Chain A
Amino acid sequence: MSEALPDGTRLLHIGPHKTGTTSVQRAFWDTRELLPEHGVVWAGGLAHPMSAAMAAAGNQLATGQQGSGDERWTELATEVRESTARMTVVSSEFFSDAPQERVAAIVKALGPETRVVITLRPVTRILASQWQQYMQNQPMVKYVGNPDYEGWLDLVLNHPEQQDVSPSFWRRHRHDRLVEKWAEAIGPERLVIVVVDDARPRDILTSFEQLTGLPVGLLQPRDASANRSLTLPEVTMLRAFNAGWMERGWSAADYTRYVRFGAVRHLMTRTPAPGEPPIRTPSWAVERANEIGAEMIANIARTGVRVDGDLALLATAEPRSVGDNPAVVDLPADVVGRFAAGLAKVIAETPARPAPAARRAGPLETSVRADRAMRTAAATGDPRPVAELSRLRLLRAVAGRVRRRVAE
């Protein structure tokens, strides 16, 4: 049983990615109205304050205007610092992307009562999940040569120093260095590691309940299927689609809106057939990742930070699917249909008005917004041709608009 953190704590959960962060964030968010009666506040007003955390770490989404995330980070940090709750919780895996100089600034911005929680999961179980996540954002990540999964594993595991493909992988998942970096900024006594065991999925929520002093069982896991990984056929088609997208020179901002946060999410709503192949990790990669895991355990143990769970798991765990992937992938028809329809869905749902000032819309989104605004106005607005109206009637039309706006 984990001991609760002291009253007044600002609990900063930094992930990293693929360590159960979505499960924690959704459980806290779904329970947010019950938390205050236990003295706990979920900060940020969102299930996941992603753009604020990205800004804190010095990054931003392709669809964000320069500086818009900074404002959200300032608001979030102020809310956390000024909170009078017994326990204030903020969570985003994007904090783990912060370089050393930003780590200290993040801790300072949240105040002296900050304590950091790092969830760690064996690298063997992160590899396939993280790779397919990179593929969902391929035009935005560094991915020279477009290697397949096996090629990517070779680069990441056997050439960890290379910077051409996924340089963020070891920044996030060299867990010993991540722990050392944050421990240096905040002090090892203010850092807690929670080891995530896929075989016991409820344990991560129990750890957070105990750390925050919530009754065990209050946080409820949400259906995890919406946050599943892509299957091998899905990711193979997506990679071919991404290559076509980049060949055409289409924008990263449009990709972020319409593909990453649009069609891919719609694709995830399908239920893969029982025989549909997952992404398998070859056994050589499992062995290599576990060797690296053993190094990490030794280094983490030396820091003296508190560990909740079995640290040994980082060097012994096997992923869900081990083996070689087939050279030829059979593509289920509903993968194509769901993905294509998902694109149509998100394009059709584009609002008929300019993008908000804080957002950066890509060329396609900008054109779709303008086109829809024009068609909506043509269908519902005043149908009198401008060329046929006198100056007086036009001025009356302007005055009518102004009156309506004032009345709103």
Chain B
Amino acid sequence: MRTTDDLREVIRAEFGRLDPVDPELNAHLEERALGAVHGLDPEAGADVALAVVEGAHELVTATPPTARPTVGELSARQLLAAALRPRRTTEPRS
């Protein structure tokens, strides 16, 4: 007789097989999948998969914009706009 613990074990194994393209994202989505396990029927299985997509939505909407953006985060156009904006920097005049 299979249990939800067996299903969690299989989910861990399937996520463990993925290429580590983005381990942080994978870990977050795996956690969401495991947290959504509540049964063994097709509807419960679908809920696990839906939780993965919900987890992705959460992650990308929850990432706060950096309060102090770095040069690397901005495009050339954004850097140019920042340079031309009237501003006061903390850097001493060179």
A residues contacting B by CB (< 8 A) are: 233, 236-241, 243-245, 248, 250, 258, 263, 329, 331, 333-341, 343-345, 347-349, 364, 367-368, 370-372, 374-375, 377-378, 380-395, 397-398, 401-402, 405
Cβ contact within 8 Å between A378 and B2: no
Residue of B nearest to A383 (CB): B70
Cβ contact within 8 Å between B72 and A331: no
Q: B19 CB to closest chain A CB, in angstroms?
A: 8
Cβ contact within 8 Å between A341 and B91: no
Cβ contact within 8 Å between B72 and A383: yes
B residues contacting A by CB (< 8 A) are: 2, 6-7, 10-11, 13-15, 17-19, 21-22, 25-26, 29-30, 33, 40-53, 56-57, 59-61, 63, 66, 68-74, 76, 79-80, 82-84, 87, 89-91, 93-94
Cβ contact within 8 Å between A402 and B76: yes
Give the distance in Å from the alpha carbon of A349 to the alpha carbon of B80 in the complex: 31
Q: A240 CB to closest chain B CB, in angstroms?
A: 4
Cβ contact within 8 Å between B7 and A371: no
Highest count of chain A CB atoms <10 Å: which of B6, B17, B53: B53
Would you mind naming 10 contact pairs between A and B with Cβ atoms under 8 Å apart?
Answer: A237-B49, A258-B53, A344-B29, A347-B29, A347-B52, A348-B22, A382-B72, A390-B94, A391-B84, A405-B76
**Given A337-B7, A382-B72: A394 in contact with B46 (beta carbons within 8 A):** no
Partner of A244, one of B21, B47, B56: B47
Cβ contact within 8 Å between A245 and B2: no
Cβ contact within 8 Å between A391 and B53: no
Cβ contact within 8 Å between A337 and B11: yes
Cβ contact within 8 Å between B18 and A341: yes
Residue of B nearest to A399 (CB): B76
Cβ contact within 8 Å between B49 and A343: yes
Q: B75 CB to closest chain A CB, in angstroms?
A: 8
Cβ contact within 8 Å between A245 and B56: no
**Given A244-B46, A336-B48: A386 in contact with B10 (beta carbons within 8 A):** no
Give the distance in Å from the alpha carbon of A63 to the alpha carbon of B76 in the complex: 28
Cβ contact within 8 Å between A370 and B42: no
Residues of B near A382 (CB, < 8 A) are: 70-72
Residues of B near A368 (CB, < 8 A) are: 56, 60
